[in-house]
Amino acid sequence: MFFLKLRMYLLLIVLFAIIYSVVSMVAYAMGISNFYFYIIFSFLMLFIQYMIGPKIVEWSMGVRYIKEGEYSELRTMVANLAHAAEIPVPRIGVSEISLPNAFAFGRWAKDGRICVTRGILNLVDRDELRAVLGHEMSHLKNRDVLTVTLLSVIPFILYRIAFSILFYRRRDERSGSAVMLVGVAALILYFVSNLLVLYASRIREYFADRGSVKLGNPPHKLASALYKLVYGSARTPKEELRQVEGLKAFFVNDPSLAAKEFSELKQLDLDKSGAIDRQELNFLNNKKLNLSFGDKLMELMSTHPNMLKRIKQLSSYV
């Protein structure tokens, strides 16, 4: 975990160094007033996104918050995990979709929400569900939604700078060539920063997996839950997957990669039981992974780590 934390801190330094460098160049080339415009506009958009984000998630996923007397076991499980994590008990929602998954969101500590889909309730056992909920509880504890939202403003600022310079600024102005170079640099750094934000998202997933284990969930139970979620996602109709495409960063796994991931994960289920037990996870711990170039490229463009790497990391916690 030390190296994961070190990577996260270095990533934050790199991202903010990029935005500082670019806005400094823009301020020099275009004048300080433009600099203030981009910063104020970007943070205003960030604030709006942050405030209305939960409502968009609720509407998109058809979330219904459970009432007193409903889902008593689920309610008890979430309350116990929140107590162990030392955070306020989040609201609990259920989404009536068949895609098996869970997700957490909210604006601040007392606004936390954890939601499960009908699909996951019908797929995993009690201990596996608790491990998944522990993963989501760790996201809330670590304020990951806020972290990734704040980081996401950096590509947004770079995009606005590049777009304004390259498409709106008059080319006949004095120092136009230098300004255009700044625009091209901002566009390149926009793509680079997007990749870095995706990398940050993948690191947060590792942190949340570790957090679930710290909350008392056996690593093999979370590994088994991930295996089942991949299997369930691979069987979900493509029409339903398309409906939640824009929200997959919130999920425990990336449903769009499920078909490929399942073909890789089947090798871990040595006894073909449909689950991963402690011995099977131990077996993976002693095995070296050799990912193809395609796998590495696919992970580079994803909000979630490669699933084999992720379960391999879980095996080190046994």
Element spanning 303, H or E: none
Phi, psi of 65 (to 5 degrees): -75, 135
SS3 102: strand
156 Cβ neighbours under 8 A, 6+ residues apart: 42, 45, 46
Alpha carbons 224 and 23: distance in angstroms, whole number: 46
Active site residues: 136
For residue 200, give both structure tokens. Answer: 């940050």
Alpha carbons 31 and 195: distance in angstroms, whole number: 29
Alpha carbons 89 and 172: distance in angstroms, whole number: 59
Alpha carbons 233 and 256: distance in angstroms, whole number: 8
Secondary structure letter of residue 266 according to DSSP: G
Secondary structure letter of residue 251 according to DSSP: B
* CA angle (56 as vertex; 149, 162 as ends), nearest 5: 45
For residue 38, give both structure tokens. Answer: 């981009």
Other C-beta atoms lying within 10 Å of the C-beta of residue 293: 7
Alpha carbons 225 and 179: distance in angstroms, whole number: 52
Alpha carbons 65 and 53: distance in angstroms, whole number: 17
Give all strands (DSSP E) within 118-163, no chain letters.
Answer: none
Q: Considering Cα of 61, then 148, then 216, then 261, what sign does the dihedral take?
A: positive
Nearest Cα to Cα of residue 302 among 194, 227, 219: 194
